[in-house]
Structures are given as structure tokens and as C-alpha cells.
Structure 1
């Protein structure tokens, strides 16, 4: 059974919670095995807060109720997982650097898969299936993810535009057809260009999807559909940038393969055709 990375979610936003919610989070992380057998009142009393705070805390980590939190946390405790991200050290052997990179990549992808909500993935895929065209935008490392989305969906027959210039994209958005989709990618969820493009898209009745890290952020709060990846800890030499890319890529893969599965025959046919044409071109 795949959990939903409850403890990872708590750790990733613990310092952004209110003081009372933070007490709940810290207590759950300290005594997870006991917490799953407590009522909301018992947990609140132990943490020195209120049952209402427990409910607010659940909402903050995107879990509908305390009962569901306990169920998901219970399955997580029964199947303990590797925890932590590691940065390199001075004069470190190559084999240790490779092991750390592999561990970071696995950790970020595993936690993201656990965190992704199946129903939300299905909802987003259904919207994409009915869209005549997809517009996607990201800056810096997020642009690599945007290009990945464009390449994947174009290859199976869904017109997808990945613009590099926001001014050009704005001129495209204002003439977008009905049911078009805009996907804004920002790991922090606070990239001002992405936020502004989401606002413009929504003003023209374009449905919007955001791909951000887990937690409350501006992009997630403005889009119609929010897909969130695990929040990797920042590392001094930016290995976390690599981890966040791995998380974003696997989230995109989850969307893409769910989409392709729903149109399996046509998707396979188009992928085969594109492979054949590329082979002919390379001869």
C-alpha cells in the first residue's frame, strides 16, 4: 500500500505553520505510533492546543480529516522509509557522491509519488483530454520541465506550446480557443512571471494548472488545478535543484502515462509513427 508521505509533508512545512499548528506537527513527528491511537482532543491536549487546531493542521497538510491522517500515518509507520537528503562534502570520493545523488533522486521521486493524489491526477488528465491545445510556461530549471511537457504531449497528437517569451505567450493567450489549458510551472510557487500569466489566463476564461512544491503558495492558490511535488530541502551546493527537477519530472510522467493509458491505441500508434519518421530522417 502506497502512503501519502505524511511525515515528509509535516517536516517540509513545519516552520511555516502557525505556532499552535506547529505544536501538533512536532508532536506527531515525535510520537507517530501513539498519535495514530489518539482522538483529536487527546492529541490537542497533549500538544497544549485545541481540537480545532488539529483540524486546521490537517487542512494545512492537505488531508481532509484527522481520521484520514491517522489511517495514512498508520500505513506509513508499518512501512518505514529512508529519510533525508544529502549534499556533497569537500574532497568526497566519487562513489559516495554517486550514491548520494542516487539516494536524493530516489527519495524525491518516491515521496512525490506517495504524495500525488490519484483523484486529482484523474481530474487533471480529464481536463487535458478535452483541451484543444495546451500552453505551458516555466523559467530556469522549470523551463526544462515545460519543454518536457511540450515534447511528450505533442508526440501523441496534443498541440502543446512551450513559449520562452512571456510577452509572446500573452499575445497567444488572449486569442486562445475555448477549453484551452495553461500550465504554469514554479517550484517555489512564487515566480512572479508565472503568477501573472496565471492571472491573465484566468481573465480570459482559460483553465489553469499549477505544478509547484508542496504547501501554500501563490501559484497553487490561484490555479484551477494544483499538482504538488515533495519539497526537497535546499542544499548548499544546490543538489536540491536536481532533486526538485526529479520530483517535477516524475509528476509530469504520472500525468502523461495516465493520459496515454486512457488513449492507449492512438498514443502508441503516434509514438511508433514518430519513431519511424525520425529513423527515416536520420538515414
Structure 2
């Protein structure tokens, strides 16, 4: 029988976003349970174990296995956590706009509400699930790296470019690539102590997986930034930083993960800056002076 152990801890992260991220990787029976929970968490919190088994078309044994895979001792603990988190969301009124469809005739006030509430919740979910011990490790290896390679495609490429700019600003030798051939070439030139960071919401982008695998083959430390910690990209990476994703109309898949990817990498960037404080301060002073002449008088 296939054994699945997920990374969810009820005391550490928001449970429902993590179930949402992991459900595609679950065995079919567990995925059915996840679908019922995510479809109506508040109703699930009121169900008995028999009710949930019947609703999901599974068995009570499957429900118990689902709970244990998530780190719970049994169904009672799972229900309490779901009830607590759904109750907290209702109290904070997150459900007012999150998840609503944006229709062609909707006014910009509704668009603003849906988008802003979704992004705020996304940031909170990402922060709640972020493994700070892993952030510490990533910051440490970047601090000591001879070279850092960042790679992502489509929207993730923009995130990689932003992180490249930030690290270069504090004198970390960094390159970002959005072309697979260029990224593979750079990955082949990495050596022990260098760092390769692959960014992919799905964790299934073939080019990003190939680049990390190539980098690892030459001794580089590999880091995955993904919303799916059991994805193929996560499997080839030495260190994994997870993000949350909350889709709204016109912003699906990778588009929905940009803010969470930026948050995770921004925390890494600040952690690197902390660890290189004197060098970072000097770099900021030099770069600010370099561009001072291009600012109009009277500006802040």
C-alpha cells in the first residue's frame, strides 16, 4: 500500500490552503475526502466520521488514514482544527469577497474588493505555512554562494528577475534566466557552494525541473519555490519553500501565486541582508549616491 506523509501541521499552518495545495498529489481515496472538505469546510466541521465517509464515498478507515497523513491523531482533532479556522475566517469576513466570480458587468468597487481581499488572504496563508528554518538555510547558502542562478518561466520569470535585482543590489552575484537553454548553460557552470533557485507555482514545469537537476549534478545547492511541496520540482530540490495560491477570475494558476512568491523571496532577501549587514549598508550607500543625480530636486 502506498504510504503518504504530508507536511501539514495543524499548529503551524493554515490547514485548508495546505489541503488545497496537496490534493492533486493524494491517492484517489484521500483526494475524495479532501474535495468534500474543501467544498464546504464549515459543513464538514459538523459531520461525524461516518457522515464524511458517506459524503466522500469512502470508508471510516480512509478518513482515519487521511487524518493521520495530515499529522492528526484522529478525526476529532481534524474537526476541531477545521472548525477553528473556518470560524476565524468568518469572524474576519474574508468570505465576503474571496472566491466570488468577477463578471463583465461588475463595477470596479467589486473588482477591487475581490482582488485585494484575495491577495491579503494569500499573503497571510503563505506567511502561516512558510518554514522559517528552511528560510534560514536558504539565506545562509545564498550568503556564501559564489553564484546564484534564478530560473522561472512566464509569470515566474518576472519574480526571478525581481529577486535578481534585489540580490545584485547587495553584492550577491546573481543571474536570472527565462530561457531554458540559457538557464541550462548557466546551471552546467555552477559548482559546489553555488545556488540554483527554481520558481514554479505548479512544480511541474519541465524546464525548471531540468535546470535544477542540471545544477544539482554539478554540486550546486538547489532550492524550489512552489505551491506544491510534493511536486516533481520539490523532489529534485534540496530545499523547498512553499507558497499559497488563491485564484480569482482572470487570475488563475501562476498569476495567482505571484504575490506569495514575491513574499517568500523577499523574506529570503531580507534574511541575506541581515547576515551581510555591513556589506549591504555600504552597497546601499554607494548605489543611492550613484543615482542621486537622476532625481528631481524636492523629491523624497
TM-score by length of 2: 0.76
Query: 1:256 and 2:265 equivalent?
Result: no
- Whole-angstrom distance in 2 between the partners of 1:74 and 1:224: 35
Question: For 2:233, what is the secondary structure of its paired residue?
Answer: helix
Cα pair 2:150 2:175 within 8 Å, conserved: yes
* Match for residue 116 of structure 2 among 87, 102, 108: 102
SS in 1 for 2:262: helix
CA contact (8 A) 2:21 2:227 kept: no
Counterparts of 1:179 and 1:262, CA distance in 2? 17
Cα distance change, pair 192–12 in 1 and its aligned pair in 2 (3 A): closer
Which of 50, 57, 69 does residue 57 from structure 1 map onto? 69
Give unpaired runs (5+ residues) of structure 1: 59-64
Which deviations, in whole Å up to 9, do the C-alpha atoms of 1:68-104 show, x marking residues without a partner? 9869768746744524334421211112212222112
Equivalent-residue separation in structure 2 for 1:256 and 1:214 (angstroms): 22
Alignment of 1:181 with 2:187, yes or no, is: no
Aligned residue in 1 for 2:251: 238
Partner of 1:117: 131
Q: 1:212 aligns with which of 226, 232, 235?
A: 226
**In the alignment, is the contact (CA less than 8 A) between 1:184 and 1:211 conserved in 2?**
yes
Q: Is the Cα contact below 8 Å between 1:210 and 1:225 reproduced in 2?
A: yes
Question: 171, 177, 181: which is aligned to 1:163?
Answer: 177
For 1:53 and 1:139, locate their aligned partners in 2 and report how far apart those are by CA, in whole Å. Answer: 37
Q: Deviations over 1:24-58 (max 9, x none)?
A: 544694454899xx9xxxx99x9611587246622
How many Å apart are 1:213 and its aligned residue? 1.2
* TM-align CA RMSD: 3.2
- Counterpart among 6, 17, 30 of residue 21 in structure 1: 30
Cα offset, 1:280, TM superposition: 3.3
Moved more, 84-93 or 126-135: 84-93
| CA–CA distance in structure 2, aligned partners of residues 76 and 126 of structure 1 | 34
Matched with 1:66 is 72
Give the length in aligned residue pairs.
269
1:148 to 1:199, Cα distance in 2 relative to 1, 3 A: same
**2:214 maps to what in 1?**
200
Q: Distance in 2 between matches of 1:15 and 1:135?
A: 29
Q: Partners of 2:265 and 2:295 in 1: how far apart? A: 29
One of 283, 288, 298 as aligned partner of 1:270: 283
Q: Secondary structure at the match of 1:66?
A: coil
Distance 1:247-1:27 versus aligned 2 partners, 3 A rule: closer
Query: 239-248 or 118-127, which moves further after superposition?
Result: 239-248
* Alpha-carbon distance in 2 for matches of 1:254, 1:66: 29
Report what 1:145 is aligned to. Answer: 159
Deviation, structure 1 residue 226? 1.0
Q: Name the counterpart of 2:7.
A: none
Residues 76, 270 of structure 1: CA spacing in aligned structure 2 closer, same or farther, 3 A cutoff? Answer: farther
Post-superposition CA distance 1:147-173 (Å, at most 9, x none): 011001100110101123332333333
> Is the 8 Å Cα contact of residues 170 and 283 (structure 2) preserved in structure 1?
yes
